[in-house]
Amino acid sequence: MFEFHGNKPIAMLLAAGLLGAGAGAWAQMPGPRGGEGPDGMGPMRNMERLHKQLNLTPQQEELWKKARDAQREVFQKMMANGREQHEKLRAEIDKPGADLKQFMQHVDQVREQMRAQMEATRKQVRDAWFAVYDSLDANQKEQVRLAIKDGMDRMGQRGRRGGPRGGMGSEQHDHG
């Protein structure tokens, strides 16, 4: 069942879209904003460190800024849309005598619309980050590969020790 607790569903959907980018996942990570929101979560908090480590040329830096700004803009739009949709759904369920079946059908429609929107924007942002990646030299690309590997290792370790999902071991997977 689709539950609304603040902006968690939207954040989770966005995170799933970002993680679904595969090899381009490193590129989906927004820059830091003081450790709040998705910028302070998991491997995303290391993006600024990677940025400094890469020692970008002026051309690469411009591409980085464009991709980072596109990422932030998409995230802000998705969060605003999620809040708006949450408010609309909340207003519907707050009505006395609301038809629960009809409400859940509407929730499903909203979720599908958001999924489609996220897929389209994920591709746009990924393409912007791939432009950065394509501009990197072999040494810089290796640094990115190692940063992705390190982030994946840390995520795997969190899962094995019960991480933030509350006791979920590495042998269990949440496909919901």
Q: What is the DSSP string of 21-43?
A: TGGGGGGGPPPPSTT-GGGGSGG
pLDDT digits (tens, 9 = 90+) for 14-33: 343 333 333 333 344 444 33
Residue 77: the pLDDT is 87
pLDDT digits (tens, 9 = 90+) for 106-128: 899 988 988 888 888 888 899 99
As a whole number of angstroms, the distance between CA 106 and CA 100 comes to 10
**Phi and psi angles of residue 73, each rounded to the nearest 5 degrees, phi first:** -60, -45
Tell me which residues of the chain have a pLDDT lower than 70: 1-45, 160-176
Q: What is the DSSP string of 95-145?
A: STT--HHHHHHHHHHHHHHHHHHHHHHHHHHHHHHHHHHHHS-HHHHHHHH
C-alpha distances out from residue 143 to 28, 58, 59, 63, 138, Å: 16, 18, 18, 17, 9
Give the three-class secondary structure for 161.
Answer: coil
pTM of this structure: 0.60
Residue 162: the pLDDT is 60
